[in-house]
A and B are shown apart, each in its own frame.
Chain A
Amino acid sequence: MPTQANYAALDGLHTFPRLILHHAITRPDAPAIREKSLGIWQTWTWSDVADRVRALACGLSALGFKRGDNLAIIGDNRPHLYMMMAAAQSVGGVPVPLYQDAVAGEMLFVLQDAEVRFALVEDQEQVDKLLEIKDQLPALEHIVYDDPRGMRHYTQTFLHDVHELMEMGRIHDRNHPDFLNGEIEQGHFDDVSVMLYTSGTTGKPKGVCQTHASFIAAARGGIEVDRLTADEDILSYLPMAWVGDHLFSFAQATVAGFTINCPESGETVMTDLREIGPTYYFAPPRVFEGLLTSVMIRMEDAGKIKQKLFHHFMAVAKRCGADILDGKPVSGADRLQYWLGNLLIYGPLRNVLGMNRIRVAYTAGAAIGPELFSFYRSIGINLKQLYGQTETCAYVCLQPDGHVKSDTVGAPAPGVEIKIADNGEVLVKGPMLLKGYYKRPDATAESINADGYFLTGDAGFLDADGQLKIIDRAKDVGKLSNGGMFAPNYIENKLKFFQFIKEAVCFGSNRDMVCAFINIDVGAVGNWAERRGIAYAGYTDLATKPQVLELIRECLEEVNEALAGDVMVADSQVHRFLVLHKELDPDDDELTRTRKVRRNFVSDKYKVLIDALYEGKASQFIETEVKFEDGRRGKVSADLKIVDARTFPVAGKTA
């Protein structure tokens, strides 16, 4: 360990490596990272982390890693992967996290584009992927792996165990004791701290270069709004390549100095959540939805008395829970009932969900259903929304405590300016903006206008309280042939709020009516079917059952009724729909890795189905090739029934 005197030279906490050293000096024994290994939570303190980052950084240098080099990071959320980010930054390099579940071919573009020389990967699986494409990556020189399992027979000299790298680093550090401090000192707040690739909903992924300054500004803003302290616990389980995880698990954790917890494996997240009981939590809406669905399914299997209790107190919570959370006045009788409910239902339920200690929970990435949103708030979980992009460090709007609404994404965060363009597009400006797209000055120029505002590509408006409301992607908002507004995501989100509907794709631009593809949720619909004694064999079979189609039709009609109530979107009622014979899947390129629908791809692939919807056919045969996880291919075919849904007259228009 270097002496304290060496650190004193590093003044000013404007880069992440400096922040880590700061924590290591001021609170060396505070927990920085936890990981569950062999069934036990292991803790690394800030001084352990600083020590390892030092070893990793020196090890990289010993292997020839230089200022300005890019380092790919591929794997699940593991302590060494997080530490490696700081290690690369320490010597002036740029970490480039990649989505770990992508196949080798998908990683190729990013690895080539970033001219990656070094890669830290989690395990044999990721090593194999890189070896598969190594011929096409002339720049790639060294691959370091974290988990040595299965690696015994690999003899390539460019493969290194992470512990071997750290050993190299420690030797290097002993021989050049001033080297690393000098490197860290050279680090500037305007250096690129991380490169995050956009998911590529449109075109090739672009590398978004963010600086230390922008991520630290974004982190500080969030910490200020939510009064986060060094005592928070967060579960780091979302992909490291995603901007949100980088903000919460790396930037905010390093700035505020709180603890990140790495789950044992992807399947154990729920158990780990319960064991850790995070105080600060982030999940995309689908996770909250999944949790609620599983609670509801299990509730239906519960005894009569339990069901009665549950429904009674959920009604109480619905009436006054959110108001109590917001500190609004609530009658004494309701307060008493809520107190009782908290004792009997909400408390135990929060405990089961692992949300007992949560002070602040966020969701973002997609619209969240009002029902879903208020469910969590009503049982006392301070769930809020935020809004941001990779280009803005996921930091544009945050909902402040006490001003939380389900249909807005919050007020502009500290330091952020928002402007609405004439076409309705949301423009933002602030310290969190990207430095530029990697090697794409053209794209950078396109996305930032002359006044320095970033074009988000989202259509929205500021409501009366100054909170931002997002309607849809600006380019997706279309017009029906009768001139009515068609905002597909708006309708799809409404549809997806039903537990039975997993995914929906609406069509209607330049058409005379709106039609939809539906993916049912196998869990929820399967359970529903079992309850009614409907036998089925797999997704395709279940999706073609007439009873299921009837169920989905009811959902659609409910949405149509709601749409009819709002003049702006009344024309967007869904007239006809079908339930797809297979689930839309990122492996088949139908969804992005962040599980957003690739609208154009889907409409090309299933053109025959769209034609059938608009030509008024009653059914259509389709056969589709599917890719399995192991790369094999197969075919799924079905005769799909097309169903008409009732539409409703526009409120106020007929009167």
Chain B
Amino acid sequence: MSRKIGDVILDLQNISLRFGGVNALTDISFDVREHEVRAIIGPNGAGKSSMLNVINGVYHPQDGKIMYRGKERKKMEPHMAASTGIARTFQNIALFKGMSVLDNIMTGRNLKIKSNLLLQALWLGPAQKEEIEHRKKVEEIIDFLEIQHIRKTPVGRLPYGLQKRVDLGRALAMEPQILLLDEPMAGMNVEEKQDMCRFILDVNDQFGTTIVLIEHDMGVVMDISDRVVVLDYGKKIGDGVPDEVRASPEVIKAYLGAGH
């Protein structure tokens, strides 16, 4: 592998998140380095999705600091996260079911479109040129994810595994620096999981995209991640390379072992 893991790109320091009296996340700190595959694991309700939503700017933690590229991020809104290069996919696929695969991925280019609404509506001059460029990028993603055959198919008619792939395509269309994947392999069969793993690794490898993913399937996590952070009941109980995490007694107790 020639891929080089770089400096810390995202640093989460002492994050605490409360919903009323419920402590969703308590004093959690970890960092994400450039070009790495970083996994967040933990049992149900451990706070994994909350963590992703904090990074993404959907939730605002009551305590703690988020350092993104060396700068402290104050209150962040999701669209701001998006425009700074953070894209995500969702656990329950968030696509436009009635729209074609192509159009869905095209929505991922939305932030990159410069020309105004009127020009776009009339498909005039710069808007036309711009759309052709964006379409080219989208076609490259379609080619990359090997979904040429469903280009024009409405997303709602696709099987689940393919919808997940389209969701990934939509996130990729933003050309993100950090890609947040919320259970990209949930509900997939073995073959679909293998495909998805390959695409995640290819994205990481080919575009150098930093990937933060939440995943239940331990086998998958251990295979494709560079480092893993383990949460349980909103607390961090482990952090390190897969082998370290696998060997940690606390992690075994909370997640890998019996007792649930």
Instruction: Answer yes or no: are A and B bound together in one complex.
Output: yes
Counting chain A CB atoms within 10 Å of each CB, the highest count among B143, B152, B194 belongs to B143
Contact B149 A271 (CB under 8 A): yes
Minimum distance in angstroms from B157 CB to a CB of chain A: 13
A39 interfacial contact with B, CB 8 Å: yes
Q: Is B258 an interface residue (CB 8 A)?
A: no
Q: Is there contact, CB below 8 Å, between A267 and B143?
A: no
Is the Cβ of A152 less than 8 Å from the Cβ of B2?
A: yes
Report yes or no: B146 in contact with A265, Cβ–Cβ below 8 A: yes
Contact A630 B146 (CB under 8 A): no
A268 pairs with B139, CB closer than 8 A: no
Q: Does B217 contact A (CB under 8 A)?
A: no
Interface residues in A255-280 by Cβ distance below 8 A to B read 264-265, 267-268, 271
A39 to B151, CA, bound (A): 9
Which parts of A342-393 form the interface with B (CB within 8 Å)? none
Judging by beta carbons under 8 Å apart, are B142 and A39 in contact? yes
- A629 and B194 CA atoms in complex are apart in Å by 12
Q: What residues of A have a CB within 8 angstroms of the CB of B2 in the complex?
A: 152-153
Q: Does B77 sit within 8 A of A, measured CB to CB?
A: no
Decide: B1 and A264 in contact? CB cutoff 8 A. no
Q: Is there an interface contact between B202 and A265, defined as CB atoms closer than 8 Å?
A: no
Query: Are B140 and A265 in contact, CB atoms less than 8 angstroms apart?
Result: no
| CB of A152 to closest CB in B, whole Å | 7
Q: Residue-by-residue, is B132-161 near A (CB-CB < 8 Å gives 1, otherwise 0)?
A: 000110011011001011011000000000
Q: How far is the CA of A510 from the CA of B88 in the complex (A)?
A: 67
A38 proximal to B (CB < 8 A)? yes
In the complex, how many angstroms separate the beta carbon of B169 from the nearest chain A beta carbon?
14
Whether A652 sits at the interface, judged by CB under 8 Å, is no
Q: Is A150 an interface residue (CB 8 A)?
A: yes
Flag A576-615 by CB within 8 Å of B: 1 or 0 each.
Answer: 0000000000000000000000000000000000000000
Determine how close the nearest CB of chain A comes to the CB of B149; give it in whole angstroms.
Answer: 3
CB distance from B235 to the nearest CB of A (A): 38
Picked from A150, A153, A267, A629, the residue with its CB within 8 Å of the CB of B148 is A267
- Are A38 and B136 closer than 8 Å at their CB atoms? yes
Residues of B within 8 A of A40 (CB): 139
Instruction: Report whether B149 and A38 are in contact in the complex, using a CB–CB cutoff of 8 Å.
Output: no
CA distance A38 to B1 in the complex (A): 28
What is the CA–CA distance of A38 and B145 in the complex, to the nearest angstrom? 12
Contact of B149 among A152, A153, A267 (CB under 8 A): A267
Please indicate the chain B residues that have their CB under 8 angstroms from the CB of A267 in the complex: 148-149
Q: In chain A, what residue has the closest Cβ to B198? A: A150
The CA-CA distance from A60 to B152 in the complex, in Å, is 40
Label chain B's interface by main secondary structure.
Answer: helix
Question: Is the beta-carbon distance between B1 and A153 smaller than 8 angstroms?
Answer: yes
Count chain B CB atoms within 10 A of each CB in A39, A150, A265, A630 and give the residue with the most. Answer: A39
Query: Which chain B residue shows the least CB distance to A632?
Result: B190
- Min Cβ gap B151→A in Å is 7
**Is the contact region of chain A dominated by helix, strand, or loop, or is it mixed?**
loop
Q: Are A38 and B139 in contact, with the CB atoms below 8 A?
A: yes
Question: Is there an interface contact between A268 and B149, defined as CB atoms closer than 8 Å?
Answer: yes
Which A residues between 151 and 178 are near B, CB-CB below 8 angstroms? Answer: 152-153
Which residues on the B side are within 8 Å of A37 (C-beta)? 143
Interface residues of A in 23-64 (CB under 8 A from B): 37-40
B194 touches A38 (CB 8 A): no
Interchain CB contact under 8 A, B148 and A264: yes
Which residues of B in the span 1-59 have a Cβ within 8 Å of any Cβ on A? Answer: 1-2
Query: What residues of chain A lie closer than 8 Å to B148, measured between beta carbons?
Result: 39, 264-265, 267-268
Minimum Cβ distance to chain A for residue B212 (Å): 23
Give the docked Cα–Cα distance between A268 and B2 (Å): 34
Query: Nearest chain B CB to A559's CB is how many angstroms away?
Result: 36
Residue in A closest to B149 when the chains form the complex, CB atoms? A267
Q: How far is the CA of A268 from the CA of B143 in the complex (A)?
A: 12
Chain A 139-155, CB-CB to B under 8 Å as 1, else 0, gives: 00000000000101100
Q: Kindly state the separation between the CA atoms of A267 and B148 in the bound complex, as whole angstroms.
A: 8
The answer on a CB contact under 8 Å between B149 and A630 is no
Q: Is B146 in contact with A38, judged by CB distance below 8 angstroms?
A: no
1/0 per residue B161-188: CB within 8 Å of A?
A: 0000000000000000000000000000
Which of A38, A271, A630 is in CB contact (< 8 Å) with B143? A38
Most chain A C-beta atoms within 10 Å of own C-beta, residue among B139, B149, B202: B149
Q: Which of B189-231 contact A (CB under 8 A)?
A: 191, 194, 202, 205-206
Could you say which of A38, A153, A267 has the most chain B C-beta atoms within 10 Å of its C-beta?
A38
Q: Which residue of B lies closest to A628 (CB)?
A: B191
Instruction: Let me know if A630 and B194 touch, CB within 8 A.
Output: yes
A265 vs B144: C-alpha distance in the bound complex, in angstroms? 12
User: For A629, what are the chain B residues with a Cβ–Cβ distance below 8 Å?
Assistant: 191
Q: How far is the CB of B159 from chain A (nearest CB, A)?
A: 13
Q: Tell me the bound Cα distance from A152 to B194 in angstroms.
A: 21
Q: 8 Å CB contacts to B: which residues of A184-227?
A: none
**Contact code string A617-650 (vs B, CB < 8 Å = 1, else 0):** 0000000000001100000000000000000000
Taken residue by residue from 507 to 540, chain A's Cβ proximity to chain B (1 for < 8 Å, 0 otherwise) reads as 0000000000000000000000000000000000
Within the complex, what minimum Cβ distance (angstroms) separates A273 from chain B? 12
**Bound-complex Cα distance A271 to B194 (A):** 27
- Residues of chain A within 8 A (CB-CB) of B149 are 264-265, 267-268, 271
Q: Give the docked Cα–Cα distance between A359 and B149 (Å).
A: 27
Chain B residues with Cβ under 8 A from A264's Cβ?
148-149
A29 to B209 Cα, complex, angstroms: 43
The CA of A265 and the CA of B202, in the complex, are separated in Å by 19
Inter-chain CA distance A235–B15, complex, in Å, is 59
Chain A residue with the shortest CB-CB distance to B147 = A267
Distance (whole angstroms) from the CB of B44 to the closest CB of chain A: 27
Docked Cα-Cα span, A264 to B205, in Å, equals 24
Q: How far is the CA of A153 from the CA of B201 in the complex (A)?
A: 13
Chain A residues with CB under 8 Å of B139's CB are: 38-40
By a CB distance below 8 angstroms, the chain A residues around B206 are 152
Quick one: given A265-B149, A267-B149, A268-B148, are A150 and B143 in contact (CB under 8 Å)?
no
Instruction: Map CB proximity to A onto B74-111 as digits: 1 under 8 Å, 0 otherwise.
Output: 00000000000000000000000000000000000000
A630 to B193, CA, bound (A): 13
Q: State the Cβ distance, A188 to closest chain B Cβ, in Å.
A: 42
User: Can you name 6 A-B residue pairings with CB atoms under 8 Å?
Assistant: A38-B140, A38-B142, A39-B135, A39-B148, A264-B149, A629-B191
Can you list the 5 inter-chain pairs with the closest CB atoms, starting with the nearest?
A267-B149, A38-B139, A268-B149, A39-B139, A264-B148
Q: A40-B139, A630-B194 are in contact. List 18 more A-B contacts (CB 8 A).
A: A38-B139, A38-B140, A38-B142, A39-B139, A39-B142, A39-B151, A152-B2, A152-B205, A152-B206, A264-B148, A265-B146, A265-B149, A267-B148, A267-B149, A268-B148, A268-B149, A629-B191, A630-B191
